[in-house]
Structures are given as C-alpha cells and as structure tokens.
Amino acid sequence: MHLHQLVRTIFSLLLISTLFSCSGSDGFVPKQRGFYRIELPKADYRMLPDSFPYSFELSKFTRIQEDTSAIAEQFWIQLNYEPVAMASIHISYKAIKNKQDLFEDYINDTYKLAAKHNIKASSIEQTVQKTPKGYGLTLYEIEGDVPTTFHIAITDSAKHYFRAALYVPSSTLNDSLAPVLEYVRADMMRMIETFEFKEEVKTPFPYFRTR
C-alpha cells in the first residue's frame, strides 16, 4: 500500500471513530423546544353581576367584556383573563320562548360549532348530563390545534339556552398553553356547578349600558 493511501485510510478510520463517539451519551443532544413559563394564581371566585338572565361564579381574575362582534346579541359577553390574556371564555345566550323549533335550532347550532373543528381536531368527545340545579348540560371536549377546546351548553328546554366556549387566540400554542387551558376549564366546571337561570334581574338591561 502506498504511503498516501495508508494516510487516507488512517484518516478515514479516525473520522468514523470521531463520529461514532459524538453520537454516544456524552455527545451532542438537540435542545428541546421550550414552553412558556406561566404563573397562574390560586383560583378565587365572585358572582356574576345581577344584570343577566343567568348567574354563576366566575374567576376574580377575569374582566367582563361586551361581545361586539357582528353577530352578537344581548347578554353575549367575554370573560377575559388578566393579566395573562392567553385565553378567554366566550358566552352567548338565546331565549327559547317555549318554542320547540327554536330549541332544536339552538341544539343543532351548538353541535355544528363543535363539529366544524373536525378537520384539525384529533378527537371530539360529547357528554350529555344534568347540572346540580337540574338543567340539561352538553359538554364538548376537543383535542388538537383548535381555537376552542371546551364547549358547554346549558338549557331548561323551555325559556333559556346558554353557551360558553374556552377560546385561545393561537391554536398552535395549545400544547405549551396546556396549564392555562386546564386552569380555565376548571373555572368553567365551577361555572356549571353554580349555574342558575333567572326570571328577573335586580338592575335594568343591558349590563353594559347601565354601569
């Protein structure tokens, strides 16, 4: 074997040995993708003001804001979490007026709102049960990169239909925002536990025009 061939062979063996040693346990390890470090306060609650036809306990760390979207109706609100504005609860309300066709329309609308996430959702779980006050309750739990991961609908089947959805502005952050989503979901479960429809309110309607 000529000298230059011998040198080339030795160099190749050294290079292979170096590559294998770097791939071992003491070698380079790719840095894992970091998540947000979010400090969440201990849950604390207050009652919703008396200006609505529904009542429940909401987090003290939320600000009640009027829903100003084009399709918003009276008593539609948003509960925005402060100071961490990474999630909010969107609430809508409909009067059934003892009309079966309206009741069925609202049920179908709730289903459609949840089902529209089928394209990006990895799973959608529906549960039908009763609230502690005896109202009909439907829950939709949605996994995947979707903007609304938890929906609830509460109704007395005759006069009132209430809907709430946990909303995040950027669905691609759902994994890193998991602690926030679980925190808000727990608040929504508290909402269910304390929920009640009201036939009368103590202050005139609507809330945002009378403060």
pLDDT of residue 171: 57
**Contact by Cβ (8 Å): 192, 137:** yes
**Could you give the angle at the alpha carbon of 170 between the alpha carbons of 165 and 172, nearest 5°?**
110
- Does the pLDDT of residue 194 top 50, yes or no? yes
As a whole number, the mean pLDDT across the chain is 79
Domains of the chain in sequence order: 45-209 (3.40.1000.10)
**Could you give the angle at the alpha carbon of 125 between the alpha carbons of 121 and 130, nearest 5°?**
145
Q: What are the tens digits of pLDDT across the range 95-139?
A: 999 999 999 999 998 888 777 655 566 677 889 999 999 999 999
Q: What are the tens digits of pLDDT across the range 70-89?
A: 999 999 999 998 765 578 99
Q: Tokens 């409909």 — which residue? A: 94
pLDDT of residue 7: 39
Would you place residue 198 in the very low, low, confident or very high pLDDT band (cuts 50, 70, 90)? very high
pLDDT of residue 64: 94
Give dist(CA 160, CA 54) in Å, integer: 9
Q: What is the DSSP letter of 159?
A: S
